[in-house]
Chain A
Amino acid sequence: MTVSSNSHQQENGRFMTVMKDILARPSGRIGLTLVLFHILLALLSPSIAPYDFKLQNSSLMLSPPSGDHWLGADHLGRDILSRTLMGGREALLVTGIATPLAVMWGGFIGILFGLVGGRVDEVLMRIVDAFLSLPWILKMLVLIVTFGTGIGVLIPTLTFFYGIPVIRVARAATHDIIARDFVWAAKARGHSRISIIWRELLPNVLDTLMVEGAMRWSWMLLAFSSLSFLGFGVSPPTPDWGLMISDARGFMSFAPWGVIAPVIGLSSLIIGINLSADALAKALGIDRAQKAPM
């Protein structure tokens, strides 16, 4: 047995222990189930959905749930069940790409400046503060209104703005770790900077970043659906929960099913992510409640 395969086994072993710990908690079980369910749904919904999501049928306009249309139809007579099943695809795709990217670039910059320290670090932190002091919706809307909606704009925008708070978290975690004796021990042995960062720092900072990523994901979903709701996210007729809620709101008094179905879809996904993030944080020994939202 070689050493490298051995250390690999250890990582696997750790992954298994963390997974076991997550699944041992009710919040972890429920959360992961919900997330997995939504991911599967996003992949399979085009083939499961009973009707074409674009198909308008004026005779069905705002019709209540029935045997043919289990959740009724919306104001254009489209099948709500089919649209709800498919309503998370865009959101999952965009946030699923933007979240890891945001954590990566924010984490990279945060660790880098945490290590460099000094004046450069001070200046960067002021810039980070400045960005954080602007409301997220303003920052994003300015870009979206200028460059247009669509995945090509949404993914880079979300990635950029959601990476900024990650800088702070990664920098703080880096500061915590580099003060510890095992980093000093590695320095005193004369390991190269790269080796210290790669072997001593990263494995310990990654835990924090993983939890951070899970949280960012749920906040990004909130942001994405809010943008859709305001009409700046997905363009019709693509089905999206935020957009569906926004459309159905006007008819809420006599056709509440149009609101309720997408509400359940969106909420169950976000709750699932949050419960999983909670369980992950506990399994890794990081207290999530102490962190303030940005």
Chain B
Amino acid sequence: MLFMLIRRVFLGGVTVCIVSLIIFAGVEMLPGDACTQFLGEYQADEELLAQCRKDLDLNRPPIDRFAEWTQGAITGDLGLAADGKTKISTIVGDRLKNSLLLAFCAMSVGIPLALLLGVISGLWRDRLPDIIASTLAIFAMTIPEFVSATLLILVLSVWLGWLPGIVLTSAAAPASEFFPEILLPVIVLSFVMCAHIMRMVRSSVIDVMASDYVQMATLKGVPYWQMVFRHALPNALLPAINVVALTIAWLLGGVVVIEVVFNYPGLGRLMIDSISDRNLPVVQSIALIVASVYVCVNLAADLLTMIANPKLRTMYMRK
């Protein structure tokens, strides 16, 4: 068990290392560097360019700078933004907090709802509740987020005036000030994530309900709901863990479009702004943070599956 744990954590670490290499190498390979960007029209001036590169330490070999960068990242020092003054950790910190807030809200609505709907449509397969839920899921999965977000703003904000359609709170504001502005993005996000998880849970429930052990439990005289909760669901929900993890990773890193639509000051918008401004150090840091979150969440899901599945648990513990 312990060995397995170490192995998983090690492999996760390897992945993060490769990610940082990709990020660093990717940015190095792009034409231009922080100085050409910073100097803009003045970059033709060789002297200024050379001075700037000297200031920003860009003349050292890439390997040295990569080592320095990773060292800093491990200790939490992400370095300076492209302007050479602002600390990246301050810029990113607020945004990360806001992204976590959004993700947390969406998760606490979306995950329970998805599990509930998945189980219901799995149990009432091909009947009305399933048909409604599955059709909605197809729409949620296929309609682009910016479309559903736009439609929701149109209906709930513009026509009915129930909720504010856009976030005006500043990035550094405390979490409580984001209500009720955060509600619309939360609704859209939970709608989308709900669909993915629900479909997975539904098909898993259907498989388990057709299994021999569920038939056996029924023929043992176990009352229906007891059979569902004791025999079917613990097994049906196991494969959902990994999908939930992927969804969480997506929530923490990839909701750029939603943040842009609602003007929400999270990591996603910082990312897109930094890319547009060619603020590459910030982009690098965000990429590293998001990738690490992805790896950690997946690692957690694997471990959780291992603990929750008696087959895996005993395999690693009793041998």
Direct interface between A and B, CB < 8 A: yes
B214 cross-chain contacts in A, Cβ below 8 A: none
CB nearest to A218 among chain B residues: B142
Return A233 CB to nearest CB of chain B, in Å: 12
Check A267 against B147 for contact (C-beta < 8 Å): yes
Check A133 against B143 for contact (C-beta < 8 Å): no
CB nearest to A222 among chain B residues: B144
Chain B, residues 9-25, CB within 8 Å of chain A (1/0): the string is: 00100111011011100
| Cα distance A228–B243 in the bound complex, in angstroms | 28
Verify if B139 is at the interface (C-beta below 8 Å from A): yes
Check A141 against B22 for contact (C-beta < 8 Å): no
Check A253 against B146 for contact (C-beta < 8 Å): no
Q: Which of A145, A266, A290, A294 contacts B147 (CB 8 A)?
A: A266
| Cα distance A142–B204 in the bound complex, in angstroms | 38
Verify if B84 is at the interface (C-beta below 8 Å from A): no
Check A135 against B253 for contact (C-beta < 8 Å): yes
CB nearest to A131 among chain B residues: B22
B141 cross-chain contacts in A, Cβ below 8 A: 274, 293
Check A252 against B257 for contact (C-beta < 8 Å): no
B26 cross-chain contacts in A, Cβ below 8 A: 142
Q: Determine, out of B53-61, B283-291, B310-318, the stretch whose residues face the partner at the interface.
A: B283-291
Verify if B130 is at the interface (C-beta below 8 Å from A): no
B151 cross-chain contacts in A, Cβ below 8 A: 259, 263
A135 and B290 contact, Cβ closer than 8 Å, known pairs A146-B30, A259-B154, A292-B243? yes
A273 cross-chain contacts in B, Cβ below 8 A: 142
Interface residues of A in 190-226 (CB under 8 A from B): 218, 222, 225-226
Chain A, residues 271-294, CB within 8 Å of chain B (1/0): the string is: 101110000000000010110111
A266 cross-chain contacts in B, Cβ below 8 A: 144, 147
Q: Which of A252, A259, A292 contacts B200 (CB 8 A)?
A: A292
Verify if B295 is at the interface (C-beta below 8 Å from A): yes
Check B30 against A130 for contact (C-beta < 8 Å): no
Verify if A138 is at the interface (C-beta below 8 Å from B): yes
B14 cross-chain contacts in A, Cβ below 8 A: 126
Check B139 against A226 for contact (C-beta < 8 Å): no
Check B146 against A127 for contact (C-beta < 8 Å): no
Check B138 against A275 for contact (C-beta < 8 Å): yes
Check B254 against A137 for contact (C-beta < 8 Å): yes
| Cα distance A78–B205 in the bound complex, in angstroms | 51
Check B275 against A142 for contact (C-beta < 8 Å): yes
Check A267 against B150 for contact (C-beta < 8 Å): no
Check B290 against A252 for contact (C-beta < 8 Å): no
Q: Which of A133, A226, A256, A270 contacts B154 (CB 8 A)?
A: A256
Verify if B203 is at the interface (C-beta below 8 Å from A): yes
B142 cross-chain contacts in A, Cβ below 8 A: 218, 222, 267, 270-271, 273-274
Check A138 against B147 for contact (C-beta < 8 Å): no
A245 and B200 contact, Cβ closer than 8 Å, known pairs A126-B14, A138-B283? no
Q: Which of B199, B260, B295 contacts A133 (CB 8 A)?
A: B295
Check B147 against A263 for contact (C-beta < 8 Å): yes
Check B15 against A126 for contact (C-beta < 8 Å): yes
| Cα distance A8–B73 in the bound complex, in angstroms | 58
User: What are 5 A-B pairs at a CB distance below 8 A?
Assistant: A129-B15, A137-B256, A230-B257, A267-B139, A292-B200
Which chain B residues have a beta carbon within 8 Å of chain A's beta carbons?
11, 14-16, 18-19, 21-23, 26-27, 30-31, 138-139, 141-147, 150-151, 153-154, 158, 196, 199-200, 202-204, 239, 242-243, 246, 249, 253-254, 256-257, 260-261, 268, 271-272, 275-276, 278, 283, 286-287, 290-291, 294-295
| Known pairs A137-B257, A137-B272, A138-B256 / 5 extra A-B pairs, C-beta < 8 Å | A129-B295, A130-B16, A135-B271, A142-B26, A230-B257
Which chain A residues have a beta carbon within 8 Å of chain B's beta carbons?
126-127, 129-138, 141-142, 145-146, 218, 222, 225-226, 229-230, 242, 245-246, 249, 252-253, 256, 259, 263, 266-267, 270-271, 273-275, 287, 289-290, 292-294
